[in-house]
Structure 1
Amino acid sequence: MSLADSDRELVVEELDREPTPAEAALFENLWSEHCAYRSSRPLLSAFDSEGEQVVVGPGDDAAVVALPGSEEGGADEGTTYITMGIESHNHPSYVDPFDGAATGVGGIVRDTLSMGAYPIALADSLYFGEFDREHSKYLFEGVVEGISHYGNCIGVPTVAGSVDFHPDYEGNPLVNVACVGLTTEDRLVTAEAQKPGNKLVLVGNGTGRDGLGGASFASEDLSEDAETEDRPAVQVGDPYTEKLLIEANEQLVDEGLIQSARDLGAAGLGGASSELVAKGGLGADIELERVHQREPNMNALEILLAESQERMCYEIEPENVDRVREIAERFDLGCSVIGEVTEGNYTCTFNGETVVDVDGHFLGEGAPMNDLPSEAPEQPETDLPDVDLEDAFDAVVSSPSTASKQWVYRQYDHEVGVRTSVGPGDDAAIIAVREASAEPRRGNSESSRPSEDEVFRDSADESSGDSREIGQGLAISAGAAPNWTTAAPYEGAKAIALENATNVAAKGATPLAAVDCLNGGNPEKPDVYGGFEGIVDGLADMCATLEAPVVGGNVSLYNDSVAGPIPPTPTLAMVGTKDGYDAPPLAVTADTDGDSRLLLVGDVGLESDEPRLGGAEYLAQFDGSDAFPELPDDPAALVETLADVANDDATLAVHDVSHGGLAVALAEMVTDDAGLEVSIPATESADDPANAAAAALFHEQPGRALIQTESPEAIREAFDGVAPVVELGSATDDGRLAIDVGGRTIATDAAAIRERRATIERELE
């Protein structure tokens, strides 16, 4: 590790002396791109992070959002809040896929704990190189195993996410993990130190040498030999200790013992403790030798910067320190009183020698921002493949990026906590949330765990129509679309935001807020930085249009390797709310009487001679290129109307149309008991009927949905002036899918579709 010359000059000027080795290392890590956002912060003001529902926005360990109407429920502990956070563990997951991914889960869960919240759901979005590459499979299997192991052990359900394969992730995979937590107004904790004289208490695992320099490691391109040379920068997780920490934290919050908190992540103890006190405009005196350690003979720099997992730093009033010790001992956790909050500098001593003495605000906020050149990305030319329609259907439906992800999510315990009403594999997950007064007290005994009856009210409660009795459903959608943002960073990012909102609306929920994980390559390359600017602006513009504030997030740059930069990848995790937790299914219902119809809300793709296939999996499969599709004129009205329609009694099924277009969406709706007969209208005026048919079947304009309804006229009326509605056909009871598109017919059945979509299982089992 070494501090850049230009940064060293600023530090020397501020300190009026040369920094000590510990100070230099601390500045290097806290002024790294990973911690200081030196290249991205100038762009982030584009996001609208405010709203009446926003309690804590960007800048804390996690955002806090009030659930609509929860203050009216008479809760004993005040308004019900959710916390939202997202982080990346990209470089560590390349070097060590199991531990890299596992500790990513652990870190985002501790961010949730530091806000006084209990974690209730996880969503992971994963991006790898081409699936037929052995190294990609190795990384993929290791990452999924790491996520499942850690999440399952700590008892937090993984309910949503995405998996994409793209050749440009071969040298640098992405692992983005989001967490949603639950708390109340009276239990809220922040990362802002409160008062001089309060003690700083470290609770959790012993400190070791793992993860040293992790923040600076995450701020550099991956080298060719990163898997061996950078292994010490990867943390090692212990989910069983994390589970104890979750429950201990809950006890500390229950008893009101925490004044402020910060989890130990990037830059370890130095990062957490300095940020905690600086945020409150205060300082600290820390004695590093007091830190409980699991390895002998650690020096000051190692204690300060090690990123050992499962550790929390708490600000505790002096009279409550003994009680904190008792709770830590009860949960078999280490506990050290390492110092106290002061009105002066941030100082650290080691065996009586001062090794750090700096202004906390300068340490945390003094890094200069980068002013980088950027180049706007070039628009792709139109180069459409000449492929048989049925062959194209087979290729797109069986592509690893659009195929079934059951191999992934069946390894996750998505029902632990008995809150999951709709799990992974659907457009969005739905988690049950009730009023705080009805929440069971959590603790260390089985009797404190909620039963299924406590979480899911019976039908008699729901029929009463009292949403305060039945609680709320929290819909969660997360992901990005590298094909879209490769073709058009700005338009593709707008489409990703709309896609996640459509997923939420398809389950009958209205978008509430979002967090983002902005992944890019080396920002010092003008074309890469131009693409990154595009995804920031695109995501910001669409979220503002949807009135879904972006309340927090993470930036991960320097995702570059000898294989080249990753696609600009703006992962978005969005939540929405609805009364109750029922939702229309994704699959169609068999209909022998013919009372229902299947409708498409949105553009069929044949209204003009322009096929608009840019970013489609169809083009990725056959090396084509094209302009990105236009987006709907009024996306906010479309999302709101779709949510209303999804909750209508006449609606039998709803499915978002996105990756793979109508081909994949229709295939996913068919079951052994229910099939579909559909006809996609074609215009005779198309100059190229074959390309027109391909556009209809495979284009991926977001903001579209398939709806099975017993009242098609009501759907048309609801979307009048909002989006076109086209009747495609009807459901059957034979499990067959028959698609007529422009006079060309594709016929298959549920068993054959299931076989096509089992691409990942076939290769890995």
Structure 2
Amino acid sequence: MSLDTVKHAAGTPDAEQPWAELGLKQDEYARIREILGRRPTGAELAMYSVMWSEHCSYKSSKVHLRQFGEKAPENDAMLVGIGENAGVVDVGQGYAVTFKVESHNHPSYIEPYQGAATGVGGIVRDILAMGARPVAVVDPLRFGAADHPDTRRVLPGVVAGIGGYGNCLGLPNIGGEVVFDPCYQGNPLVNAGCIGVMKHEDIHLAQASGPGNKVILYGARTGGDGIGGVSVLASETFDSTGPAKRPAVQVGDPFQEKLLIECTLEIFREKLVAGIQDLGGAGLSCATSELASAGSGGMHIDLDTVPLRDATLSPEEILMSESQERMCAIVEPGKVDRFLEICEKWDVIATVIGEVTEGERLEIFWHGEQIVDVPPRTVAHEGPVYERPYARPAWQDALQADDAGALPRPADSAELRAQVLRLLSSPNQASKAWITDQYDRFVQGNTVLAQPEDAGMVRIDEETNLGVAMATDGNGRYAKLDPYAGAQLALAEAYRNVAASGARPLAVSDCLNFGSPEDPGVMWQFAEATRGLADACLHLGTPVTGGNVSLYNQTGETAIHPTPVVAVLGVIDDVNRRTPIGFAEEGQLLYLLGDTKEEFGGSAWSQVVHDHLGGLPPAVDLDREKLLAEILISASRDGMIDAAHDLSDGGLVQAVLESALRGGHGARLVVPDGLSAFTFLFSESAGRAVVSVPRSEELRFTDMCGARGLPVTRIGVVDGDALEVQGEFTIPLDEARTAYEGTIPALLA
């Protein structure tokens, strides 16, 4: 792109500009001209194009996301909500926790290692920018069919990228999921989350106030990798030319990020910054415009002072580059020297690139010539807002009418046994240890629960043992059948997982992954899922603190299943009172909490045995979820249960086998009266958990459930070295372990 100064742009209104190539619509380009009263310069066009992209501006989703604010429950724990780099909640004892989940889907398909690695790096910097020390990461992942050749290309690279970056940072990877489904072929979902801890007084916000304060860019040099990056890649559908976008994927350096983290935390300790922003999507375009927009409004930047890895970069490319490991700080003049000293100590490049001004314009200069003169709010916060048309798809009724309950069931006990093993060894239900063993789950020494537990948990105070837990969940099959209920089921499962670990659910972050917003059917899915999640968060009292929307996850006309991924953060007063999933002691009694119904729509059984998707997902009962959580938390705190596992994909038999294999003890089960063995084992009714209760606590536990009105059924005992379903079959744990642990290595090793 040639250099256009502001003066030259005003004098040449008819000059051709590549607005369409930069992803802008004609009416958007016209709106930019209207805002500026002239055509934009090349640099201004670059800034608007990345900041008004779907990924950065949320232009198709904003109208629906407002519900998270309008329906937000009263919650005294909320310290910082939607609109900042990440939400912050009070967890007690003067501690605040910040957490968020984001997507790096399209870059990870093109360049799996770097796409996933820089997804981790970006979410960690979001947490760091709030003033917190990052303490753990999680990664909800979705891939195409497990046996598809392209899954063998994408998955190992993604896993290596997540592990390589996170392990080098010294951050434990404590949770997440791995799901396989043909709908994600060509559109894997690589969502990354991070948790950070700080004291209340250490919270920092992204704003640039105080005329005369200096703008300091610090961290890595700016390069040609990631020009447009995720802001462009994530704002259009893939086609056959997708991999040609390879140069747009950022390249990460975790060792540089580790230095940046420690440098930034020391800067925070000395209270040297008035505002701070990480450089992620849209790079300097985002950091400068957002800082100025959220502050007093005026900023002067000398772009030619930006340290470069590539001296040939044009100013437009510098503004659009999403090179990693960079931060932007606002610093009072009297503190600049000390700021630069600390950066030098940590071997972090730091450069004063401008200052906050009295005015209301963001002005950027290149070798003395003005190349940008814009109102920063129009770039950062006043982009286009679309009320996209949406309509229930014509096929939805037929899909729901195709009831999974009518599918052929096992004819006898032998077939029932065979289907249990088939389910256990299926890619989605099988052990993911081949993947999670590549992540360091215990670095820093504060991890108390990690995969394959229901929730990850870390201790945040060594003296009191205060801790936080996080679970991420989302079932695209449920959401395809009913997006409203599917989003609520994702929240309910993550909420239940956190409670099963003994932690009290507190707040929510989300990553909403959908197809093209230009498809009215996809937009209906998004509107319904968002409405469902907002309603359920209000009901459960867990506010959405922030998150991410990822649209255009489709290839041609084929969209992914609607996949709202929900992360629930919980707090536990003493991590020593946590509840693991593994059966720890023979002779303990097994109890099923909740009601089991004939619910097989979207179930693992219907997928694995019949390759079927149809019917309705399990019914949602949020009052029951709340009650179940209260029982699980109380029982954990008071020492009434030794193990707990939520029931979800695969039903009771999957949960019991996972707990048996985890603890190394078998189980004898008795099918309750009124249920068939098939329904007892495979139903995916929500609002349920299985717990192991010491005999000395049986009366106290059942009395508590009875007093609070929670259905509780004794279904067996921890015993032996096999799963025995009385009157039906026996599966030795060795046979189950072979089935459970062999699948993923055979597919991917």
Q: TM-score w.r.t. structure 1 length? A: 0.90
Aligned ranges 1:236-385 → 2 under 5 Å: 236-344=251-359, 345-376=361-392, 378-379=396-397, 380=400, 381-383=402-404, 384-385=406-407
CA distance in 2, matches of 1:739, 1:540: 40
Greater CA deviation, 99-108 or 288-297? Answer: 288-297
Question: 2:583 corresponds to which residue?
Answer: 588
CA distance in 2, matches of 1:751, 1:393: 15
Question: 1:688 corresponds to which residue?
Answer: none
Provide the aligned C-alpha RMSD in A: 1.6
CA distance in 1, matches of 2:557, 2:166: 31
Are 1:614 and 2:570 an aligned pair? no
Question: 1:648 corresponds to which residue?
Answer: 638
CA distance in 2, matches of 1:703, 1:194: 48
Question: 1:217 corresponds to which residue?
Answer: 233
Whether contact under 8 Å (2:473, 2:493) holds in the other structure is no
Are 1:631 and 2:625 an aligned pair? no
Question: 2:434 corresponds to which residue?
Answer: 407
Question: 1:489 corresponds to which residue?
Answer: 483
Whether contact under 8 Å (1:505, 1:646) holds in the other structure is no
Question: 1:473 corresponds to which residue?
Answer: 467
Question: 1:21 corresponds to which residue?
Answer: 42
Are 1:104 and 2:119 an aligned pair? yes
Shift of 1:563: 6.8
Q: Which amino acid aligns with 1:661?
A: G
Question: 1:738 corresponds to which residue?
Answer: 724
Are 1:668 and 2:651 an aligned pair? no
Shift of 1:235: 0.3
Are 1:701 and 2:688 an aligned pair? no
Cα separation, partners in 2 of 1:518 and 1:321, compared to 1, 3 Å: same
Shift of 1:520: 0.6
Question: 1:546 corresponds to which residue?
Answer: 540
Question: 1:601 corresponds to which residue?
Answer: 593
Q: Which amino acid aligns with 2:47?
A: L
CA distance in 1, matches of 2:628, 2:604: 24
CA distance in 1, matches of 2:580, 2:351: 51
Question: 1:64 corresponds to which residue?
Answer: 88
CA distance in 1, matches of 2:746, 2:431: 11
Are 1:33 and 2:33 an aligned pair? no
The match for 2:510 among 516, 531, 544 is 516
Question: 1:750 corresponds to which residue?
Answer: 733
Aligned ranges 1:135-154 → 2 under 5 Å: 135-154=150-169
Question: 2:670 corresponds to which residue?
Answer: 679
Shift of 1:650: 2.9
CA distance in 2, matches of 1:21, 1:372: 29
CA distance in 1, matches of 2:471, 2:561: 21
Shift of 1:682: 4.9
Structure 1, residues 578-602: CA drift from partner, whole Å, max 9, x if none? 12112222111332xx4x3100001
CA distance in 1, matches of 2:640, 2:389: 54
* SS class of match (2:584): coil
Cα separation, partners in 2 of 1:735 and 1:679, compared to 1, 3 Å: same
Question: 1:689 corresponds to which residue?
Answer: none
The match for 1:712 among 692, 695, 698 is 698
Whether contact under 8 Å (2:671, 2:715) holds in the other structure is yes
* SS class of match (1:726): strand
Q: Which amino acid aligns with 1:8?
A: Y
Greater CA deviation, 254-263 or 665-674? Answer: 665-674
CA distance in 1, matches of 2:524, 2:380: 27
Q: TM-score w.r.t. structure 2 length? A: 0.92
* SS class of match (1:757): helix
* SS class of match (2:729): strand
Are 1:422 and 2:422 an aligned pair? no
CA distance in 1, matches of 2:713, 2:483: 30
CA distance in 2, matches of 1:192, 1:471: 34
Whether contact under 8 Å (2:209, 2:296) holds in the other structure is no
Structure 1, unmatched stretches of 5+, are 71-78, 435-454, 456-468, 606-610, 685-691
CA distance in 1, matches of 2:433, 2:358: 54
Question: 2:219 corresponds to which residue?
Answer: 204
CA distance in 2, matches of 1:319, 1:677: 71
Shift of 1:623: 2.5
* SS class of match (2:642): strand
CA distance in 2, matches of 1:83, 1:113: 9
Whether contact under 8 Å (1:171, 1:563) holds in the other structure is no
CA distance in 2, matches of 1:638, 1:673: 26
Structure 1, residues 35-84: CA drift from partner, whole Å, max 9, x if none? 1101111111222445211111011111111113x2xxxxxxxx211111
Whether contact under 8 Å (1:212, 1:233) holds in the other structure is yes
Greater CA deviation, 663-672 or 154-163? Answer: 663-672
Shift of 1:673: 4.3
CA distance in 2, matches of 1:126, 1:754: 24
* SS class of match (1:659): coil
CA distance in 2, matches of 1:225, 1:754: 43
Question: 1:566 corresponds to which residue?
Answer: 560
Whether contact under 8 Å (2:227, 2:320) holds in the other structure is yes
Structure 1, residues 248-273: CA drift from partner, whole Å, max 9, x if none? 00110011101110000111111111
Structure 2, unmatched stretches of 5+, are 1-20
* SS class of match (1:121): strand
CA distance in 2, matches of 1:543, 1:398: 34
Q: Which amino acid aligns with 2:594?
A: G
Structure 1, residues 101-155: CA drift from partner, whole Å, max 9, x if none? 0000000011111111100010100000010101012211110000000000011
Question: 1:450 corresponds to which residue?
Answer: none
Q: Which amino acid aligns with 2:78?
A: V
CA distance in 2, matches of 1:650, 1:217: 51
Whether contact under 8 Å (1:166, 1:482) holds in the other structure is no
* SS class of match (2:505): strand
Are 1:729 and 2:716 an aligned pair? yes
Shift of 1:718: 2.2
Question: 1:460 corresponds to which residue?
Answer: none
Q: Which amino acid aligns with 1:64?
A: V
